[in-house]
Structure 1
């Protein structure tokens, strides 16, 4: 058991000395002024456009001059009618180079930050780095470490609970069934970790969310973040799991629900349909909990056998654990593949420089190592009638812990969005109007509209897009004629989600034709 604890300590040291994961769930699409732009006069407004709606009150924007000194701003605020746009008004700026540092919380509750620079009156000589906030960096890093501890402990704890219950039903030796004595310590670690997770998350929010909640009484912040909702639900479930005197099924259900809640704290909210994305993640989490729980159970059983000096009848274990490992590994592989296929595609998966793709490759490799070690263990078990190599079992457990670490990091990293196109054909008399969008992604995209013969060519084509659930309703955009019967318009899809467009074609004889459809803009991944 000491070796297992040592493995976790080493993993946490590696995490703590590295950079904290980037929460890239809301991507910056455009800024005014643009990054590196030289403007001749002081801008009256600084605007930032994101790929997702932002949370009101959880946004921050700072402006620094060429010497790193802060400049007071009016704002920031969200643009009226478009929660994905943030704006602030600077004072009149003298010639020089300026750096904008922004921090926001996206609709799925993840904090995101970044910076860009621009110049007034003369060319920028380079980005000016503002004074760094060491406290903020420490909070982010500590939060990342605690998240890994909580999620890893939750999966292992749930797996051991389920295995202990199965052991009692199957009449396994009493000494082996009593390995759950450490469950109380696991429970305390989880409760303390969840509380710390929530407090650190609030402290890391733009505008100091911790002070906003406890000093200013802005309790609505707690209900705005899906991440906080997940943490709150898991904390409540852990408290319910501590209620004494309940039937055994009560505790099993509480742990199962706590594991399932993890599926709603990551990329699932940016993938359509959400219920299917969450289902794949729940299956994946349950499979990992069973697999790692079974390995831990065997390690603890071997430790009990060594300390007690009593031999365990391994025969009843072998068939059950082989089947369990086969079921858990197959479910983990299939659900993992389904998650990957649903949120991206193989064409962009291995794009050079993709952190998410590298982590996926690492997770697949470690899973393959686990399978090889499991097969080796099973063959030896079958030959000798007992487990003969605790070292191999510990290596398999270590590979599983690293695979879990890679998976948690993936859930907090930007994944490569699938490169898809959109084509819609509308019947119009004896012809068909064709609407195409080569790239379906957040940002300004090109829409082409073709009115083929024998249709009369329209004198004007207007395109209007809206996103009712985010109260976004753009003004009609005139499409430019680029050829006979061919028109083109730049459509600003400023966030992910379901958008509606309406094309109004006005003809010379005074008639109009309208064409309407909806399309889903994927989100949660990397925006380019």
Structure 2
């Protein structure tokens, strides 16, 4: 009597129920998590470097999206580096620091750390003087969070391991369900691959759960010693917590679907697990969401199947070396699939890089761009190794005659496959560190000495910045927002015009760099006060014009 290998009706029904629940969960989660970008400082009161005749009662920081104060909050220091008592609070886009005592003459530095709507921390400082600037200013000892370096290192390592394990687990489960043959003689290969997949599932879920409290420490500017407090352990209802939940649910469904009859369950569960990565990270920050989220899911899903297939081949080929037909069938299936996966990874990566970086200069001018270039270079090497496998080594294995040549060809193929898989693991580890890097440096109006103006027309608000305010090249930034401060697309692309006395630089179109956000480069030839007019068409009939005076200093 032989035992049937077909799944029982009970197991099939259970798998369908689990899959339906997981898909419903991911739909609710992705719809509930809003798209948001890194917050940028729009204006300060007092302005950066201002010399005030008398001490202010409060200090105000205004951002372009809602922010919240971190645990380290805002702190004020005098020129000697001694802390001055303040009461800081945040409401919507504004952070206010009320000064409890009269300030003596001299220079003061406000250090702050806030968390933007996308859960990324923004830290900075603002300096001003009362009466006259101090001759010397001691940098505040608490101006930066001391635990940042250690927390970022540990968080990056945990993310890298978690992402690599997640993609390996999801891809290997797809490999088991779709690519590795079933039947007599394949039990050892399937058992080994399943054991590795289960270990990867465990590592992925544990790492993604550990990521939640570490992310809280990073956001709040706390060191690793902050794990002793309750704060990191009370933030499970967040994007990080949802990603861990989706990974656990999706991988659980995929494990149930490792048989051929339930292979669609394995594919859907793996897609849910890796799709949860879209809940956090940079893609939702640089819309449009309907473009970047599908591109992100396609990118990581293709990478997962590619990595899982390579590891699956490395595990199964030794046990299939004596079964030429089965080995050739397995290699042929993966080789056919790998070409399509490479195209998906390249196309989706191109779309994501374009939307996230926003400019060619960002590739070499930011840490994010440099790591991304390094990652892209490794992917290029992986593609070359994959081509060598497909067009050189695979034909050798299939065409080899005799026991010795066949084993030698199979040995070379296994070595190349291991190299390809190892390089992809490095790519995934780099991806873990990319999540915590800022793709586009947030413009600091205080540091860049920009001029800012805000105007409201009907249900639309327009914020314009110009800087650095010196003779030569200047950048005009325009963002169109709704009344809640969220970027919106206007009816037409705004324009900007500059003139001074009898010098008119003409009207210049703005370039779209993000949702509702535009920039334009203008060259100001002379110092003095220039009139800058920004025209924004918000509907077919409404066209508000913002006017601001720009005091241009001599170049230098």
- In the alignment, which of 305, 309, 320 is matched to residue 290 of structure 1? 305
- In the alignment, which of 187, 192, 197 is matched to residue 183 of structure 1? 197
CA contact (8 A) 1:167 1:177 kept: no
Q: Which residue of 2 aligns with 1:425?
A: none
Alpha-carbon distance in structure 1 between the residues aligned to 2:256 and 2:411 = 40
Matched, 1:84 2:100: no
Q: Which residue of 2 aligns with 1:107?
A: 117
What TM-score do you get using the length of structure 2 for normalisation? Answer: 0.64
- C-alpha deviation, 1:465, in angstroms: 7.2
CA contact (8 A) 2:57 2:99 kept: yes
CA contact (8 A) 1:503 1:514 kept: no
- In the alignment, which of 255, 266, 273 is matched to residue 258 of structure 1? 273
What TM-score do you get using the length of structure 1 for normalisation? Answer: 0.67
Alpha-carbon distance in structure 1 between the residues aligned to 2:435 and 2:241 = 16
SS of alignment partner, residue 119 of structure 2: coil
Superposed, which structure 2 residues align to 1:251-400 within 5 Å? 251-302=266-317, 304=319, 313-345=326-358, 347-350=360-363, 352-378=364-390, 379-385=392-398, 386-389=409-412, 390-400=414-424
CA contact (8 A) 2:37 2:285 kept: no
Q: Which residue of 2 aligns with 1:515?
A: 542
- C-alpha deviation, 1:26, in angstroms: 2.6
Go from structure 1 to structure 2 and tell me whether the alpha carbon gap of 1:280 and 1:504 turns closer, same or farther (over 3 Å shift).
closer
Alpha-carbon distance in structure 1 between the residues aligned to 2:221 and 2:373 = 37
Go from structure 1 to structure 2 and tell me whether the alpha carbon gap of 1:28 and 1:283 turns closer, same or farther (over 3 Å shift).
same
Alpha-carbon distance in structure 1 between the residues aligned to 2:82 and 2:435 = 36
Go from structure 1 to structure 2 and tell me whether the alpha carbon gap of 1:260 and 1:382 turns closer, same or farther (over 3 Å shift).
same
Q: Which residue of 2 aligns with 1:193?
A: 207
Q: Which residue of 1 aligns with 2:465?
A: 444
Go from structure 1 to structure 2 and tell me whether the alpha carbon gap of 1:177 and 1:242 turns closer, same or farther (over 3 Å shift).
closer
CA contact (8 A) 1:51 1:496 kept: no
Q: Which residue of 2 aligns with 1:130?
A: 141
Alpha-carbon distance in structure 2 between the residues aligned to 1:471 and 1:301 = 51
- In the alignment, which of 120, 141, 149 is matched to residue 161 of structure 2? 149
CA contact (8 A) 2:75 2:112 kept: yes
- In the alignment, which of 405, 413, 416 is matched to residue 437 of structure 2? 413
Go from structure 1 to structure 2 and tell me whether the alpha carbon gap of 1:480 and 1:295 turns closer, same or farther (over 3 Å shift).
closer
Go from structure 1 to structure 2 and tell me whether the alpha carbon gap of 1:37 and 1:163 turns closer, same or farther (over 3 Å shift).
same
Alpha-carbon distance in structure 2 between the residues aligned to 1:76 and 1:150 = 35
Superposed, which structure 2 residues align to 1:456-471 within 5 Å? 467-470=482-485
CA contact (8 A) 1:32 1:48 kept: yes
Deviates more, 1:258-267 or 1:395-404: 395-404
Go from structure 1 to structure 2 and tell me whether the alpha carbon gap of 1:496 and 1:97 turns closer, same or farther (over 3 Å shift).
farther
Alpha-carbon distance in structure 2 between the residues aligned to 1:128 and 1:322 = 59
- Superposed CA deviations along residues 351-387 of structure 1, whole A, max 9, x for unmatched, are x522232223212211111111112223122134343
Go from structure 1 to structure 2 and tell me whether the alpha carbon gap of 1:65 and 1:174 turns closer, same or farther (over 3 Å shift).
same
- Total equivalences in the alignment: 431
Go from structure 1 to structure 2 and tell me whether the alpha carbon gap of 1:203 and 1:293 turns closer, same or farther (over 3 Å shift).
same
SS of alignment partner, residue 63 of structure 1: strand
SS of alignment partner, residue 256 of structure 1: helix
Q: Which residue of 1 aligns with 2:220?
A: 206
Q: Which residue of 1 aligns with 2:30?
A: none
- C-alpha deviation, 1:280, in angstroms: 0.7
- C-alpha deviation, 1:504, in angstroms: 12
CA contact (8 A) 1:465 1:502 kept: no
Alpha-carbon distance in structure 2 between the residues aligned to 1:242 and 1:136 = 38
CA contact (8 A) 1:24 1:414 kept: no
CA contact (8 A) 1:59 1:105 kept: no
Alpha-carbon distance in structure 1 between the residues aligned to 2:83 and 2:37 = 26
Q: Which residue of 2 aligns with 1:13?
A: none
Go from structure 1 to structure 2 and tell me whether the alpha carbon gap of 1:243 and 1:208 turns closer, same or farther (over 3 Å shift).
farther
Q: Which residue of 2 aligns with 1:42?
A: 55
CA contact (8 A) 1:191 1:238 kept: no
- C-alpha deviation, 1:38, in angstroms: 4.4
